[in-house]
Structure 1
Amino acid sequence: MSRLPYLRAGSGPVLVLVHGYLGGAAQWVDEIETFQKDFDVIAPSLPGFGEAAHLPACGTIHEMAVAVLELLDELEVTDYILLGHSMGGQIAQEMSALRPGMVNKLILYGTGPVGLMPDRFEPITVSKERLQRDGVAKTIERIAATWFKDGENAAGYAKLVEIGSLTNPEAALLGLDAMAGWDGREAMSTLTMPTLVIWGDSDRSYRWPQVESLWQGIPSVDLCVVPKASHAVHLEKPKLFHSIIGDFLDGSYDGKS
């Protein structure tokens, strides 16, 4: 596979940001700007998504994890802090299980240990049927509205719709299959690196039982529940999101950036 396109800025310890379903590297521009003064921030676009829409899509979470690991190998990154959002959180768990010695700290944000996502706002089978009927553009408009407490009126909604509309139709379909077929529960006990779980209390994709499983199943874990936020906390409450992550990393951020 060709090298994944990515955004990169800053210097210092490497911080890798992995986006979720119908996402792309561009969703992390505020995080890159915030953390580049202390970290070497790398944000890839997954195969078939965002700026990587031209690349062949992956059919499993494992394949996506390997694609990101291959990029890091090409960039000669040997250790890093890893943050994964939503489907990207599943990928981050898979990456950490494959190469645990490379991950210094792990941040699992708006995600869970089971890709089938029980009690999701709609079953994955329904999302797949509607995607095939409506196409990618209408699907991201509809699904992105569930990622915000304020729905289509949220400040970050248009940004995510723009990024999501770039997704290759095959990647959109295969991404749903990849999530439905992934189960990371057996590997949770092997994730011994310091871990932070972040969850918006109104998240309609990953409900509390999924988050609680991460909290109870990972050996060295802290949990942060963000009030009055849904699935896109980094866009709904960016200052608070940055402060939470900064505190976990080194305690030097005060949320004013």
Structure 2
Amino acid sequence: MTPLVFVHGFMGGSAQWALQQDTLAASRELIAVDLPGFGENRDLPVINTIKGFADWVIAKLDAKGIGTFNLMGHSMGGMIAQQIAHQVPDRIEKLVLYGTGPNGLLPGRFETIEQSKIRAQQDGVRKTARRISATWFVDSTIAPEYPACAAIAEQSAAKALAAGLDAMRDWSGMEFLKTVASETLVIWGDSDRTYQWSQPELLWRHIPNAHLAVVPGCAHAVHLEKPQIFNMLVEDFLRT
């Protein structure tokens, strides 16, 4: 079976996909990366462009001898996945764009990118990680998976916060959408505070072979808030 590559978002890490392992690994290899500056790779030099992140992921897959793959990107990772799809379209079998969009300025976000940069510099990594992670759940800090998610976010390097925010702010994937060759599944939680509906709607309407799944009662972390539904959607899409 074609392997599935996970690309996490801002202040994420490979460990956040624990609830997907049993279901999605049953019939394929799962490859979950830790982007430079985040998770297990917090000590690597940071990257401040989406293309730079895409180049890094492609190089890692090349080093593993991975040719064709399925690709899932969440949040900032979804931007990276769009960039990868633009750069190596012939290598991606199916594409999952989850809680993401093509506009790096993140219109309608719970706060602007510049506000996040200022607050991160003032508050430090731990406080920023806990505050921003809370916005990813409908139930905020009382969500069952919030503590684990916040702990992963706390692993982020201080320099990676500003670098990641700059990478998103300075990127747009709008010109790529109509050229996406892979069959694509767009997943969005209807209470997402980071990516407003206009963002996944652009993906769904402009990518030629795109399907849409809107999950009610979820914010930015559908894979943690309703993992059974999320896993079912992804597994069905990859098998069909």
Q: Which residue of 38, 41, 59 corresponds with 1:52?
A: 41
Number of residues of Structure 1 aligned to a counterpart in Structure 2:
240
Mapping of 1:55-204 within 5 angstroms? 55-204=44-193
Q: Which amino acid is the alignment partner of residue 200 of structure 1?
A: G
RMSD (Å) for aligned C-alpha atoms: 0.7
- Check whether the contact 1:13–1:38 (CA below 8 A) recurs between aligned residues: no
Amino acid paired to 1:58: I
Superposed displacement of residue 33, structure 1 = 2.4
Poorly superposed stretches of 4+, deviation over 2 Å:
none
What is the 5 A alignment of 1:191-230? 191-230=180-219
Identity of aligned residues (%): 48
Stretches of structure 2 that go unaligned for 5 or more consecutive residues are none
Q: Which protein, 1 or 2, shows the higher relative CO under an 8 Å CA cutoff with sep ≥ 6?
A: 2
Deviation of 1:32 after TM superposition, in Å, equals: 2.2
Q: Deviations over 1:87-123 (max 9, x none)?
A: 0000000001000000000000000001110010000
Aligned residue among 228, 232, 237 for 1:243:
232
- TM-score normalised to the size of structure 2? 0.99
Residue 135 of structure 1 aligns to a residue whose secondary structure is: helix
State the one-letter code of the partner of 2:85.
S
Cα distance between partner residues in 2 of 1:33 and 1:114: 33
TM-score by length of 1: 0.92
State the Cα distance separating 1:211 from its structure 2 match. 1.1
The 1-side partners of 2:155 and 2:64 are apart by 25
Could you tell which deviates more after superposition, 168-177 or 31-40?
A: 31-40
